[in-house]
Structure 1
Amino acid sequence: MDFYYSIEDHRFFEEKIKGSRFIANIYPIQNKEEAEEHLNSLRKEHYDATHNCYAYILGSQGLEYRANDDGEPNGSAGNPILFSIKKYKLSDVLLVVTRFYGGTKLGVGGLARAYGGTAEEVIKLCKRKKINITKRVKIFTTYDDINTVKRLLDEYAVSFEEIYTDTIEITAEIPISKVMNFRKQITEQTADRSGSRELDESY
């Protein structure tokens, strides 16, 4: 897939369940250091909370993730929050559910429903943001072949920048699944007079 979804900005949601207050905060993040900054800020804000349970997912494939129960029974808080993020197919997000204990025990099943349900409610308030997964490709071409290359760029590229000297150098953002075919077309349609090389993956 050439894209994934994150969220536009911070949102929060609060509800009471059997006397306990559950406050959910969700943030867009770029790395785990940002997640820690938000967590530290919330811990200071809610210094008297019973628990600050959380989960985050990072990356275009969602391969970097973490869930934390913060003292709740194992698997009753962090994993339900993580499942809610995955259910809505989001990445690059941190979701924290803060609990102020209200005197009534919920049991492991009740906790899982409370944490997962509160997490889902705050996700529903979010505006999703589509993030394109592209790879930068550098193209080297000539004035004789520029029209052919431009036509291929119009077909494949999300964006591109050109530098004109004795030859022409173009840096293009190509959807990651189309890079191989784009480079093949550049070579074939200019009879090997133009070349290309892949740079880094970008978002």
Structure 2
Amino acid sequence: MNKPQPIQTIQARVRSEIKLRGSRFIATAVPVGDKQVVNEVVEQIRKEFWDATHNCFAYQLAPNGSEYRFFDDGEPSGTAGKPILFALQQRNLLDLLVVVTRYFGGTKLGAGGLARAYAEAANDVLDHADTITLWPTTRVRVFTPYDDLSEVRRLVESETKEFDEEFRDVVIYTASIRDENLDTFSETLTEKTAGRAGLINIDIAESE
């Protein structure tokens, strides 16, 4: 089985605008996790720009971009959604939605001109975005006796700066560990504590 690969997306919502022959093209790029979020964001933008001529969009989702959609919203077929999608594909960006809102300025651009305009708008907003790499992770719960607290805490901190720490009969850490590091993390945990500390995979436990 192939290991899950890291994905490239953007850090936060970003917006930019270009003007071509009187028409305004307002591009909004939004990181998304699934189709439900896509639908919610598209609806929000449609309400925001309720008087726009078109709200065209494209998105593609992790893990490999095979789940995607593009929408021309009344523009000639293939002149809006496809160029937006192509901009995402060229940059290999996943879990990302780009909506390009057009206010018609009175001058028709023709099919070729439209495609170039939507591509330019999509690329412009992506140029303004900060990209990040998201690594596949697994949620784990680590149990350690107090005698091994310092050693285990250092080990957890070497993998992530974000974790929960609970003090009970034992100390419990809840954290997300990169999949590619999980086996080594587990082995090191056992070695450093002589088997006194252990972990469970929360994702597996909750699915059973």
User: What TM-score bracket applies, with the shorter chain setting the length?
Assistant: 0.7 to 0.9
Would the aligned equivalents of 1:4 and 1:60 in 2 still touch at CA under 8 Å?
A: no
State the superposition RMSD in angstroms: 3.0
Deviations along 1:51-89, one digit per CA (max 9) or x if unpaired, are 321012344655543211223343332121012123344
| 2:202 corresponding residue in structure 1 | 199
| 1:7 corresponding residue in structure 2 | 11
- Note the 1:1-203 alignment, pairs <5 A: 4-17=8-21, 19-59=22-62, 62=65, 64-99=67-102, 100=104, 102-107=106-111, 109-128=112-131, 131=134, 133-200=136-203
Using the alignment, how far apart are the partners of 2:47 and 2:185 within structure 1? 51
TM norm structure 1: 0.77
In structure 1, list runs of 5 or more residues that go unmatched: none
Instruction: For residue 113 of structure 1, give the secondary structure of its aligned residue in structure 2.
Output: helix
Using the alignment, how far apart are the partners of 1:143 and 1:37 within structure 2? 46
Quote how far apart the aligned CAs of 1:24 are: 2.1
Which has a greater percent of helix? 2
Q: Which amino acid aligns with 1:9?
A: R
Deviations along 1:38-57, one digit per CA (max 9) or x if unpaired, are 33344345445443210123
Deviations along 1:126-182, one digit per CA (max 9) or x if unpaired, are 344565653321112223333432332233333333222332222223223211210
- Aligned pair count reads 199
Instruction: For residue 144 of structure 1, give the secondary structure of its aligned residue in structure 2.
Output: helix
Instruction: For residue 147 of structure 2, give the secondary structure of its aligned residue in structure 1.
Output: coil
TM norm structure 2: 0.75
Deviations along 1:85-133, one digit per CA (max 9) or x if unpaired, are 23344344321123326343522x3332221111111222334456565
112-121 or 27-36: bigger deviation: 27-36
Pair 157,67 (structure 1): closer, same or farther in 2 beyond 3 Å: same
Which has a greater percent of strand? 1
Using the alignment, how far apart are the partners of 1:2 and 1:152 within structure 2? 22
